[in-house]
Structure 1
Amino acid sequence: MTLGEKICRLRKARGLSQGDLADTLGVSRQSVSKWETDSSVPDLDKLVALSRRFGVTLDELVCGEGDAEKEHEPEPLPAAQPQGRQVLGGVLLAVGLLGLLLFTLLWGLEGLLLGLMFLLPFLLCGVLCLKVRRRLGLWCAWAVYLPQQVYWTMATGITWRLVLTTPHFTREMNYFRLFIGWVMLAALVALTVATARSFSGLRKEPTPKMVGVTAVLWAAALLIWRLRALFFGLFADETGLIQLPGLVTGLLQGACAAGQTAALAAAITLTLALLRGRQKQTPG
């Protein structure tokens, strides 16, 4: 059995996709594919990382020595864990769908939209429990935070950007609104740090494509709110009032706020991955 065949066999035995293994090792999926087809050979540090990830010695991985039955041994714990997630996911989806049905029956279309605001986290977390195998807690945290940001922006106009006005804030402007803005900013910082730490092993080569994607994310994070103002300016009359239904205006504002937050977190995480990839390419 060749080295590539061993890597492929060990990967499949542990239920990993090529992308999962690539993320763990900080390489591209194409690199893993080349290893498994024996088109290229992993570096020594990657061989060591592979042996640790698969739970085998370096000799067993490279030379095929050791207990061969260990490779075929099933892993009962990972098999049991998805079952619990499926139950939890089913419960969350049932709560979300039943809640939406109740809101719709009581208040019609407006009830459906209102129910989505409060119950979307249940639906998103339910889907994540059924589909996601890694970083479930992180993605569920984002699934709770972003819809709530849409709701607060739509209902009150409060976003984490409100903290920028702190030096000029007065009592007449309602300090409770400023407090909510600081809470939202603290949650955003915590989630962004958690996301960056979760992907601390991710390395991306600074190719033109990856640099371009990162630049687009930064542009979105910095310019979405400005573009929102320009867009609403197209529908304002001579008095400055926006000639759009209040519900549409609120939803668009909430979507812009959530999109800006998601773009900012993604831009920071990808920028750190590019910096790690560039440091690895630097000799010495």
Structure 2
Amino acid sequence: MGLEVVLPTGEVVRTGSKCIKDVVGYNLTELFVGSEGALDVITKAVIKVVPKPEARRTMTATFSTLEKAAEAVKAVYATGVRPAMLEFLDRISVEAIVKSTSFEATPEEGALLLMEVDGAEAALDSDVLKIQKACEGYDCITFRKAETETDREELWKARRALSFALTEISNQWENDDISVPIARIPQMIRKLDEITERHNIIIANFGHYGDGNIHIGMTIGKGGRPFPMVAKDEVIKAVVEIEGRIAAEHDIGCVKAHNLHWNIDAPTLAMMRSFKKLLAPKDILNPGKVMPREV
């Protein structure tokens, strides 16, 4: 809700407040939070703490394809229920956790949704039933509810084990982190399938369906040929084509700085450069991060 930051010049700047609603001046809080440390050092932060929910319910639903899972998500949202968490895993990801954990799935289960609702105890059973009916309307293969806290932890344990589980397929992955409009996730998955076939590679898709964030892992498996880096560029181009963003939660850093212009037009980039010259004229904090360096 607010910050105290020190600029590279040594000036101390305070933004925001403890008020829930505050439109006094420009929203500098977002600017500094999103700068990846290239504009400031944060020394204090005003945080709004969210109360722990009274209760929660965790469930999984499996489908033959990720596209059917995507249709089920639309149906879930149409019920008015908004899951607190909504994760998805594709076939490659499901197979990986089956091999590496106690999680069980049959070969026809090619996509998995991991969902959680929270709130008042009295309302949750109704929410779960609505979600179950929505999923069953799109050829849901299995629908499982965590009956105990131990069951819940086992489900999340399998999800958290995914990155390690993927090393069973390959120990060399080209990873990406993208964001697309939620309604276009199926379209993005189809584009990724096309890239998979075109370059004869393996792509694992998983992430946070509820906010359109897809984590992409690309590899050639345990073969000997080099990974075709052009495939990585094609993924980014496909994201831009459907009005997505080339970074969701893992930031731009140095790796994607040269791709920034794919999402941001020239006048906006020029404005961002002017902000940086004003606040960090010598580029001494995290140099080269976010903004590509001018040659």
| Structure with larger RCO (C-alpha < 8 A, sep 6+) | 2
TM range (shorter): under 0.3
TM-score (norm 1): 0.25
More helix by share: 1
TM-score (norm 2): 0.24
